[in-house]
Structure 1
Amino acid sequence: MARIVGVHGVGKQRLGSNTLLKDWEPALADGLERAGGPALVRGDLHVAFYGDLFRPPGHTLAVGDPLYTAEDVEDGIETELLMEWWADCARTDPGVPPPGADTLARSPRAVQTALRVLQHSRFFADVSLRALVLDLKQVRRYLLDEGLRKAARARVEEAIGPDTRVVVAHSLGSVIAYEALCARRDHRVRALVTVGSPLGMRMIYERLLPEPGGWPGDASTLRWTNVVDEGDVVAAVRDLSLFFGTGVRGKAVHNGSHAHDATLYLTARETGEAVAQGLAEEPA
């Protein structure tokens, strides 16, 4: 089994483990090199893939994703998450107006306004409307669709073997990785490295299984490092120690205009250091 398991984020439904590995492997190798860590060799990294669980059945590659619009954003988690993204975009982007009293009511008009504002923000400038709505739906489906949640978590649990020492998880993947490690109490992972993680957002934190706030392993042996870019709207709550305890070490990086990009997180020295420390730790 691989010494390092990567877990991807949302929007990868038409890719696969090998496709992602082509991007993740050289990026993480650069991060380790910048940190003065060990060289990454072929077979060290495996990307646990769950994105196909979100791919609509019966569709050919030509059809692609559903043509979602503002009317498809559902009340509850999807709208709450959208509004949180808007508020955080306004905090980090001077060109984004903050939500006003007339839009905090989470009405259909507020949803339309939020989507329009976000598409003109620096963070979501390259994201299409349907992709933005699809991301909301993938988060909601993971949290509320029990069958999909079990299947996604099983993909990660199966990838973590007796030789796995590090789990690096991006975006929604950090939620899945956290739950998988909590479920597999016998794992021998020595470092959890979350990057661009939404684990501290209320609508996600309160729905974590088996329960919010638990430590995903043996507290005496597992190191948890959370790497975040200040401009990453998806990681709106930057300090995870507020929710999971002071054992979570927070590291700030600068990814430029693509704050949430997984490969930019992986090339960061801070990520490389956290991975190198996990590889150096010998299991008891």
Structure 2
Amino acid sequence: MGALQIVGVHGIKQGSGATTAGLSASWQATIDDTLAAAPTSGAEVGAAAGVVVTVPSYQAVFPRTPTRYIRLGGPEAGLLSDDRPIDEEEEDFILRALAAYAPSAVEDESPEVGLTLGEGPLTPRIVRRIQAVDRKLGKGVTGRLLWFVREAHAYLRKEETAAAVRAAVAEALTETGARMVVAHSLGSVVVYDMLSRGEAPDVTMLVTCGSPLGWLAGRKGIHSEGERLTVPGSVEWTNLYASKDFVTGCAGLSHLAAGVTDTEVNNGAFPPSHDVHRYLDKPALAEVIAKAGIA
């Protein structure tokens, strides 16, 4: 029995030094520990067959995002953003994405209340939405989400970038022959996009972790609004989500997706709750790997 090949698809903000070798080794170490700690078949699969994890890095083709701090309401509330100008289309995307986190939040009429923008790129409408969401979710939460929202926009709206990311994942699938994919964060959007396009025909098992696919705005461009999320019938789909992971909207996908099995896990508080290794170390993942290894 040969080793079980798994392709991992990473999320954003990995850093310029995050190579395929480095990411693969990091994921491999955590998954090995998870399988070793599994009480039943997970450990048996890891020991008998071996599991090989390959995580292709797409950082080289993804837009670099420099760090910029924008103060909202005082020096303790740092908002991470970047220097790329925000046009009307991206502004609309950001507003819709943030609204998904707190749809009942009421915005201030004046964006100047408690605000020092400095030279930041945020528009007054975005600032008002940030203030409203922070009041609901907690001060500073939106600043951490803003990184993700803008990176997701770059993938969904820039086809050249998206195609290059998908190509990197497709190459890894072809080279390894993997039929199982573990996708974290924006990686789950990438894989869903590939499955929808028929670009991952041999994948039969999908595990999404910390997935933002539940956002209506985030699905625009890869999914028809108003329809349920679907993957090919040959794909067994498990979704791990943490109730305090704001990137997921603190919820699973079963209310929006057909054929997905939601599994809630405890990853602690945000932002560590979104960390990939807090998902990879869960017994629920070991169970899915064991099933794939036995199949």
TM-score > 0.5, shorter chain as reference? yes
Partners of 2:215 and 2:145 lie apart in 1 by 18
Q: Can you give the 5+ residue segments of structure 1 that lack an aligned partner in the other structure?
A: 57-63, 89-97
2:106 aligned with 1:100, yes or no? Answer: yes
TM-superposed CA distance for 1:110, in Å, is 0.7
Correspondence for 1:203 among 199, 213, 217 = 217
Correspondence for 2:131 among 82, 90, 113 = 113
Partners of 1:43 and 1:269 lie apart in 2 by 15
SS at match of 1:234: helix
Query: Could you tell me which residue of structure 2 aligns to residue 81 of structure 1?
Result: 97
Correspondence for 2:264 among 247, 252, 260 = 252
TM-superposed CA distance for 1:186, in Å, is 6.6
TM-superposed CA distance for 1:65, in Å, is 1.4
Is the contact made by 2:30 and 2:277 (CA closer than 8 Å) also made in structure 1?
Answer: yes
SS at match of 1:54: coil
Partners of 1:280 and 1:165 lie apart in 2 by 13
The one-letter amino acid of 2:26's match is D
TM-superposed CA distance for 1:256, in Å, is 1.3
SS at match of 1:44: strand
User: Which segment is superposed worse, 179-188 or 226-235?
Assistant: 179-188
Partners of 2:224 and 2:106 lie apart in 1 by 36
The one-letter amino acid of 2:178's match is T
**RMSD of aligned Cα (Å):** 3.3
Query: Could you tell me which residue of structure 1 aligns to residue 52 of structure 2?
Result: 44
The within-5 A match list for 1:204-243 is: 204-208=218-222, 213=228, 215-217=230-232, 219=233, 221-236=234-249, 238-243=251-256
Distance 1:83 1:165, change over 3 A: same
Is the contact made by 1:191 and 1:275 (CA closer than 8 Å) also made in structure 2?
Answer: no
Q: Can you give the 5+ residue segments of structure 2 that lack an aligned partner in the other structure?
A: 71-78, 112-123
User: Which segment is superposed worse, 2-11 or 107-116?
Assistant: 107-116
Query: Could you tell me which residue of structure 1 aligns to residue 119 of structure 2?
Result: none
User: Which segment is superposed worse, 35-44 or 135-144?
Assistant: 35-44
Partners of 1:45 and 1:80 lie apart in 2 by 35
Is the contact made by 2:194 and 2:200 (CA closer than 8 Å) also made in structure 1?
Answer: no
The within-5 A match list for 1:124-143 is: 124=141, 129=143, 132-143=145-156
Query: Could you tell me which residue of structure 1 aligns to residue 292 of structure 2?
Result: 278
Partners of 2:145 and 2:277 lie apart in 1 by 20
Cα offsets for 1:235-280 (capped at 9, x unmatched): 11623222221x2111011011321110010000011212221232
Distance 1:25 1:12, change over 3 A: same
Query: Could you tell me which residue of structure 2 aligns to residue 92 of structure 1?
Result: none
Cα offsets for 1:113-134 (capped at 9, x unmatched): 258667735xx4xx9x5x6543
Is the contact made by 1:13 and 1:55 (CA closer than 8 Å) also made in structure 2?
Answer: no
The within-5 A match list for 1:128-167 is: 129=143, 132-161=145-174, 163-167=177-181
Distance 1:54 1:264, change over 3 A: same
SS at match of 2:202: coil
Query: Could you tell me which residue of structure 2 aligns to residue 53 of structure 1?
Result: 61
TM-superposed CA distance for 1:178, in Å, is 1.4
Could you list the runs of 4 or more consecutive aligned residues of structure 1 that deviate by over 6 angstroms after TM superposition? 40-43
Correspondence for 1:6 among 1, 5, 8 = 8
Cα offsets for 1:200-249 (capped at 9, x unmatched): 110122321599646433x1x4210000001111011623222221x211
Correspondence for 1:191 among 183, 197, 205 = 205
Structure index of larger Rg = 2
Partners of 1:3 and 1:100 lie apart in 2 by 48
Cα offsets for 1:172-211 (capped at 9, x unmatched): 0001011223333673322100000011110122321599
How many residue pairs were aligned?
255
Partners of 1:44 and 1:109 lie apart in 2 by 45
Correspondence for 1:30 among 33, 44, 55 = 33
Partners of 1:199 and 1:34 lie apart in 2 by 30
Partners of 1:250 and 1:256 lie apart in 2 by 18
TM-score normalised according to structure 1 size: 0.76
Partners of 1:44 and 1:151 lie apart in 2 by 24
